[in-house]
Amino acid sequence: MKILVVDDNLLAAGILKTALESQGHEAMETAQDYDAALAACRRVVPDLAFVDLVMPGRDGLELIGALRREFPSVLVAVASAVEQAGVDDRIRELGGIGILRKPFSMAELRAFMDSVTKEMKKNANIGTDAWRGLAEEAVARSIAKLARISSGKWTLKDIEVAVSAGALRPDGDQDGAGVIFTVSGPGSLRSLITFRPGDVEVISRCFLGYSFVKMSAMNKAEELLISEVGNILFNSFLSVISARTGEMLLPSVPRCIQGGLDFITGTFGESLPSAPADTAVRVTLTLSCRDGEAECSVLLVMGEELRAGLV
């Protein structure tokens, strides 16, 4: 479990970091304030963030809200000596999972982390089979559409589904290209579809019948190709979601961005704020076409109202 500790007291942060590591957890760099915490999460998305309540500038309560909006997959807990009437309720209203009182014993920390682990497993297991079924139906529609308009034949080699805890974490910070969609209609739905630049040659050969020349960065023609393939994938997911919820959902014009996958995911989360109850789902696809394979990732962030009608 990757954990970020946020505390302006370096001694207190070091004690918690060391205690977590002694219990087998992976404590990331520590952050001393609101801005440093968000910057750290944009570099590497943690599983859990421990936040102190009293910090210079924006306080811990403001940070909990910001983390839950920008990184809905991240669990946020408080580690603080503050005891005020109503503070525990306020933490939970903002999307926090609880408070570890300072000073704490190793036994208290272990018990708290056990409860965190149970929460993570619960979030990961709820609806996973349903999401996989939805993804498989949507991908089947995508492949059928691609088969009708492409030069080559597409097949699905592999599909993986991650819900909430692992959904917003890309595999490393290799370069990529992303296509962002938002949806108008009841509820809230945003999507980010990412591709590896090296796969553009395979995609263009199968989609158009010829390969684009490899370049260090995507040119306009390649961005248009990626946007079109992303549009087909997203609209297939949207059609399934719309059919299952009975809602009329209209996608935005796609917006393509390039950079490291961590940067792309962070930009997506920062530009499209989410709520604490949102569900994040990542579907990773490996598509085969002719003599090559292309991998893409479909990230969906869905509001509670829309999700309730779905699973």
Q: Please check whether residue 150 is in contact with residue 207, taking contact to mean a CB–CB distance below 8 angstroms.
A: yes
Domain residue limits at 142: 128-308
For the chain, give the percent of residues with pLDDT over 70.
89
Cβ neighbors of 253 (< 8 A, separation 6 or more) are none
CATH code assigned at 301: 3.40.1550.10
Mean pLDDT, rounded, of the chain: 85
pLDDT of residue 196: 83
- Average the pLDDT over 26-45 and give the result: 91
Residues 132 and 120 in one domain: no
In 3D space, the residue among 3, 8, 100, 91 whose CA is nearest the CA of residue 54 turns out to be 8
- Overall domain count for the chain: 2
pLDDT of residue 311: 57
Residues 47 and 96 in one domain: yes
Q: Given the DSSP bridges, would you call strands 189-195 and 26-31 parallel, antiparallel or unpaired?
A: unpaired
Q: Is 38's pLDDT higher than 90?
A: yes
pLDDT of residue 274: 60
Q: Is 166's pLDDT higher than 60?
A: no
Span of 14-18, 78-82, 91-95, 262-266 with lowest mean pLDDT: 262-266
Q: Please check whether residue 210 is in contact with residue 204, taking contact to mean a CB–CB distance below 8 angstroms.
A: yes
Read off the DSSP letter of residue 166: G
Q: Is 20's pLDDT higher than 90?
A: yes
Q: Against a cut of 0.95, is the pTM above it? A: no
Helix, strand, coil percentages (3-state) for the chain, rounded to 5, are: 45, 25, 30
**Cα end-to-end distance, the chain, whole Å:** 27
Most confident of the ranges 69-83, 101-115, 117-131, 187-201: 101-115
- Average the pLDDT over 59-75 and give the result: 87
Residues 98 and 137 in one domain: no
> pLDDT for 211-222, tens place per residue?
886 666 678 888
In 3D space, the residue among 262, 193, 275, 282 whose CA is nearest the CA of residue 40 turns out to be 262
CATH code assigned at 88: 3.40.50.2300
Residues 106 and 135 in one domain: no
Span of 124-128, 137-141, 249-253 with lowest mean pLDDT: 124-128
Pick the residue with more confidence: 260 or 34?
34
